């Protein structure tokens, strides 16, 4: 499953296999069908940072609500040459 994020439960399983059952990284990789590098990264993060969860993403909060973003996608899909002025006008009409 390359390119997929691991859930917290999967990460906890990896830590459990490593700490409590003393499995090697290669054995754990076979059990959970992930690369040894992925297993090594998760175990290393647990050892040095004491966490299995991902860090929260930093950055500015989104200006658009999810619904507005979806409306824009629909407008652009329907008319790829729609102007930003028309998009803005239509969004304001929807919100009123």
Token pair recorded at residue 54: 């991902």
- For the chain, the structural domain boundaries read 8-49, 66-95
Higher pLDDT, 60 or 96: 60
pLDDT band at 1 (very low <50, low <70, confident <90, very high): very low
- Using one digit for the tens of pLDDT, what is the confidence trace for 12-67? 999 999 999 999 999 999 999 999 999 999 999 999 998 888 777 778 888 888 88
Query: Could you tell me the pTM of the whole model?
Result: 0.56
DSSP code string of 21-86: S---HHHHHHHHT--HHHHHHHHHHHHHH---SPPPPPSPPPSS-HHHHHHHHHHHHH-TT--HHH
């Amino acid at each position: 499953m390359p390119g997929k994020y691991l859930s917290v439960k999967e990460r906890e399983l990896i830590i459990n296999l490593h700490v409590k059952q003393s499995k090697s990284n290669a054995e754990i990789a076979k059990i959970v069908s992930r690369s040894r590098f992925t297993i090594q990264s998760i175990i290393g993060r647990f050892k040095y940072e004491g966490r299995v969860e991902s860090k929260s993403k930093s950055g500015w909060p989104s200006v658009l609500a999810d619904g507005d973003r979806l409306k824009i996608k629909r407008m652009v899909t329907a008319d790829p040459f729609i102007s930003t002025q028309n998009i803005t006008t239509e969004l304001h009409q929807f919100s009123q």
